[in-house]
Amino acid sequence: MSHINNFKDLLLFEIQKAFYDERGRGARYRLTTAGVSYLAEHLKEKAGDINEVKAWLKENGFVKNIEFEEEMVSLKIIVDSCCLISIRDYFDSAGMQPLGCPIANVFMNALELKSGLSPELLPIKFNGGVCELTLAKMATSDVVEGMSK
């Protein structure tokens, strides 16, 4: 990777870290739309379809692969080799969760366009070049039944 690309990635991490240092944990909720406008511009009405979003991200080299595991109140997205992985690794090295994830954001936007309700990104799990993103869909308090232990 070139110095310029490395520099851009480090810069994106440093900007987010500076934002966190100023705003604390609340900073993550200010980044939930980062990346959404770019895909919306390119995908237009298809931006609300998670399969179209997935195909576009793969075709354009943003990720190597994406798999979904959908449950009643959550959507799990397994992302392999994301183009933003080095920014994630800077956060990991600093002992932090990434403040946000543009890949998660575009899927959250897709779900919101369908249901009118915006989901919540759970802490991201890392496994080498793979990220496990889980989006909590706004449900009802019935979600608690049988899961409160």
Instruction: Give the footprint of another protein on this chain (CB under 8 A).
Output: 26, 29-33, 73-74, 112, 117-123, 134, 136-141, 143-144, 147-149
55 or 138: CB nearest another protein: 138
Contact 97, 17 (CB under 8 A): no
Q: Which is nearer to another protein, 86 or 118 (CB)?
A: 118
- Give the nearest distance from C-beta 140 to another protein in angstroms: 7
93 or 140, CB closer to another protein? 140
Least distance to another protein from the beta carbon of 47, Å?
A: 15
Of 27 and 83, nearer to another protein (C-beta) is 27
Alpha helices in the chain (DSSP H): 3-23, 36-43, 50-59, 85-93, 102-115
In the complex, least distance from residue 119 CB atom to another protein, rounded to whole angstroms: 7
Using alpha carbons, select from 62, 33, 14, 60 the residue that is nearest to residue 121: 33
Residue 139 phi/psi, 5-degree rounding, is -120, -135
| Cα–Cα distance, 61 to 84 (Å, whole number) | 11
